[in-house]
Amino acid sequence: MPQPPLSLSLQFARFDGVAAHRAALPRHKVLRWVRAALGGDVQAAEITVRIVDADEGRQLNRDFRGKDYATNVLTFDYSGAPVVAADLVLCAPVVAREAAELGKPLAEHYAHLLVHGTLHAQGWDHETSEADAEAMEAQEAAILAALGQPNPYQ
């Protein structure tokens, strides 16, 4: 089955240490990770991935979620299947800190968070119930396994 068309914009804010994040996120890998997370009912997708510093991450989380801290990934979904349109904003310092705490390579953690954010863009939600959280985690693990990545929840 052919894959749906995916328009991807990959953006990096200016911040100290951005080179390490650019190295962990080559465009071809980001395309592969996002595309793998698109469901079978998606006919096309337009996704912007933006890597930001802690200040921008905190401001966006505060302004849009009412939470005054930088979080790892924010998903702004504008339309769901069949044509998915979304912005995924990842906070580089948070992602780097989490990867180090988990003992994971930075790219591996980014892969997980991009899959996670792409699922959110399609309506998946882990905050609605324990059953929804388990279903989303299982979906993430299956997608990552297909990409040759380990289960992030083990």
Residues making up the annotated binding site for Zn(2+) are 116, 120, 126
**Which residues fall within 8 angstroms of residue 38, CB to CB, at 6 or more apart?**
3, 4, 6, 45, 84, 118, 122
Contact in structure between 84 and 121 (CB atoms under 8 Å): yes
Which residues fall in the annotated binding site? 116, 120, 126
β-strands 83-91, 73-79 pairing: antiparallel
The residue assigned the tokens 């068309």 is 5
